[in-house]
Structure 1
Amino acid sequence: MRRLARLSCGLAALLLATPATAERVLVFAAASLGGTLDEALAPWEAATGHDAVVAYAGSSALARQIEAGAPAQVFISANEAWMDSLDAAALLAPGTRRDLLGNSLVLISGEADVLALEDLPQTLGEGWLAMALTQAVPAGIYGREALVSLDLWDSLEPRVVQAEDVRAALALVALGEAPFGITYASDAAAEPRVHVAATFPADSHAPIRYPAAALAGSGPVAVDLLDWLSGPEAGQVFAAAGFDLP
């Protein structure tokens, strides 16, 4: 009888811990979060039974898709401007927006040598500098801003090759197609074939922040996912991958 009672209590606890209906949450996330975000979400999926599906791309492309009606429920941008645009269009769930992460901007190379940023034009020569789209993608916007601040943009602009997002710029350097590139510190940490040649001064560009929010009409499961990503367990995963925590 006692054993039956224990089994009944255990079954009740299991039923309480498992959602009656598992839900699928579609997350639109900046390309620089690729891999790390999946790792951070895995324990949430295991604990809740819900399924997180992440679509990675440049923040600008994702924001435009959301504006066009894409059925995303959570958006994580690599800069504030694109989140501001969705906020102004009343496409965010009220009260859910928060700064999730930060990052640093680095110059990467296939070689392990350290380089002074002011020496980049001479060292680059006729080579290519890989960057994400400098007028649309956050990593490219931050990179151009930093180069302008350091009086390097005019000399380097003719040698810049622009990629659709920061991971594509990372790949160009990793594959040896470009000797140098500008990415986030977390991207460099994720790719063993590249090395950090220099770190851009924090005051050479706007602060790199990753705002996150549930989207209007997304429901409580999306908010729960966002709260998990803001918590300590997910924070450990992000910190280990080279991101800064608020």
Structure 2
Amino acid sequence: MIQFAANLTMLFNEFPFLDRFEQASKAGFKAVEFLFPYGIPAEDIKAKLDQYHLKLVLHNLPAGNWDGGERGIACLPDRIEEFKTGVAEAIRYAGILGVGQLNCLAGKVPAGADRAELHRTFVNNLRYAAAELKKAQLKLLVEPINQYDIPGFYLCSTQQAISILDEVGADNLFVQYDIYHAQRMEGELANTITKYLDRIGHMQLADNPGRNEPGTGEINYPFLFRFLEKIGYKGWVGCEYKPATDTLSGLSWMTKQLK
């Protein structure tokens, strides 16, 4: 049975953030994920997780000025110290919240940037982060993101991510494979997942086009769910999609999966 986690940044967002834990539990979820916890005291989030018996399976490292349009800073040469400070803060939150893996967003390529320098910065930052996370017994993830939704995002394909994993050489570094982003950039979902199954630490889903719930677009999710079970994927699948209407109305696709 596939294990689904509610992405509380995207789902139940008709409710204040700390109220979404209750809503996720009522909907049948046993686990949650979200982008960033840093604006809320970790102890308050932990209390909600405990109250509703939810497991936190993922959150991101700090990713710069999100509201200002930044989507990560890990590849930016002038933000290395900020990145390292963010790693420490993420580890502190992870220790309180009990999450076992953190996602690192590479960031967008600045105009006129030296691609070789961006690559060196990203690799060195990942080596640093992986080593720090390993001390805390945490996994580090990197996520390829499609360049239609985020033009200029540095890490945009599974193969690029695997090449970087090989170069970094850390045994606690894995790919976060987002089915929606992969479909937009490269397709070939089943074969890619099979090829890199042991390098994938977490998965996320949304349908395409629209980034809404499964069943609203072109991706054959019934096949993919059966396929993931067949090949023995053991991780979580985060539901990181925009409900086409409201969250509860959009959950009918997974009723059988959650039971």
TM-score range normalised by the length of the shorter chain: under 0.3
Q: TM-score, normalised by structure 1?
A: 0.26
Higher-Rg structure is 1
Higher relative contact order (CA 8 A, sep 6+): 1
Query: Which structure dedicates a bigger proportion of its chain to strand?
Result: 1
